């Protein structure tokens, strides 16, 4: 007959478990302390790097993007606050704050033309003109970072992808997959018809008309009924009007 473990045996087993638990906690603490020390070292080195390459970070958009990527890897967001070491080192918060204000100005100035949707490339061109700089000096990444900070305004600023293009939305309009699909289709000729939408997406007439009329109501589309075939064209300025057309009002 197998004997059950006595009280002494149970106590020994419990003590052993406690020892293993304490050892495990100590190992975890040591690892955490080592990681904190390493992160502190990385951040210190990052600050030194920023001091050394301050001019390149401010002037070179590619270098600036790579710097942001390095910051992200060690949990540093130079744009989180306009105060503190990063603002003192680089003034980088001021750069994106100014860029954000200019983006808002341009989006408002061009809203009557595009209904609140502007191609990101066109936005960069207008920003370059406003800042008396080259388009190359303002990267897509710069614009995306500035726009991400505008979300706190709660006024609908965001970037949406339509096909291979990126559009900046500055109006609080909820665009669903149907609307995005139509905008993508319109990139070919600048307009679509109900029949084209039905054929492309295998939709019913009701679904196509509903989506198109919503876009029309939101100011993103214009209608053209002056064609011999009698088919209504829905034109989308946000994918047809270039920055050259609206530059005068955006200055």
pLDDT digits (tens, 9 = 90+) for 9-52: 556 666 666 666 666 666 666 566 665 666 667 667 767 777 77
Using DSSP's 3-state secondary structure scheme, residue 229 falls into: coil
For residue 96, pLDDT beyond 70: yes
CA 201/CA 177 separation, integer angstroms: 11
Spell out the domains of the chain, with CATH numbers in brackets: 174-242 (1.10.10.10)
Provide the 10 A C-beta neighbour count for residue 9: 11
Does residue 245 have a pLDDT over 70? no
72 pLDDT exceeds 80?
A: no
Question: Sorting pLDDT into bands at 50, 70 and 90, what band is 138?
Answer: confident
Whether 247 shows a pLDDT value over 90: the answer reads no
- The pLDDT score that the predictor gives to residue 209 is 93
pLDDT at 1 over 60: no
Whether 203 contacts 194, CB under 8 Å: no
Nearest to 185 by CA among 132, 116, 124, 234: 234
pTM of the model: 0.61
Instruction: Using the predicted structure, report yes or no on whether residue 109 has a pLDDT greater than 80.
Output: yes
Separation between Cα atoms, residue 54 and residue 3, nearest integer Å: 75
The CA distance from 79 to 95, in Å, is 10
Confidence of residue 165 (pLDDT cuts 50, 70, 90): confident
Mean pLDDT rounded to a whole number for the chain: 77
> Which of the two residues, 162 and 59, has the higher pLDDT score?
162
């Amino acid at each position: 007959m197998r004997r059950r473990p006595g009280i002494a045996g149970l106590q020994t087993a419990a003590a052993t478990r406690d020892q293993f638990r304490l050892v495990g906690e100590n190992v975890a603490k040591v690892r955490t302390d080592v990681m904190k020390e390493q992160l502190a070292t990385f951040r210190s080195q990052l600050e030194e790097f920023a001091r050394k390459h301050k001019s390149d970070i401010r002037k070179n958009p590619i270098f600036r993007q790579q710097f942001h990527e390095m910051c992200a890897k060690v949990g540093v967001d130079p744009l989180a606050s306009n105060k503190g070491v990063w603002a003192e080192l680089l003034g980088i918060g001021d750069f994106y704050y100014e860029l954000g204000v200019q983006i808002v100005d341009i989006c408002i100035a061009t809203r009557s033309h595009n209904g609140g949707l502007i191609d990101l490339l066109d936005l960069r061109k207008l920003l370059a003109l406003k800042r008396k700089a080259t388009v190359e000096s303002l990267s897509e990444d710069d614009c995306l970072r500035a726009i991400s900070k505008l979300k706190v305004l709660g006024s609908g600023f965001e970037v949406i992808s339509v096909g291979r293009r990126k559009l900046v939305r500055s109006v609080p309009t909820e665009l669903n997959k149907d609307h995005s699909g139509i905008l993508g289709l319109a990139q070919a000729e600048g307009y679509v018809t109900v029949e084209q939408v039905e054929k492309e997406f295998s939709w019913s007439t009701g679904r196509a008309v509903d989506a198109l009329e919503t876009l029309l109501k939101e100011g993103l589309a214009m209608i053209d009924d002056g064609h011999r075939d009698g088919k209504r064209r829905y034109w989308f300025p946000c994918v047809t009007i270039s920055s050259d057309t609206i530059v005068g009002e955006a200055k």
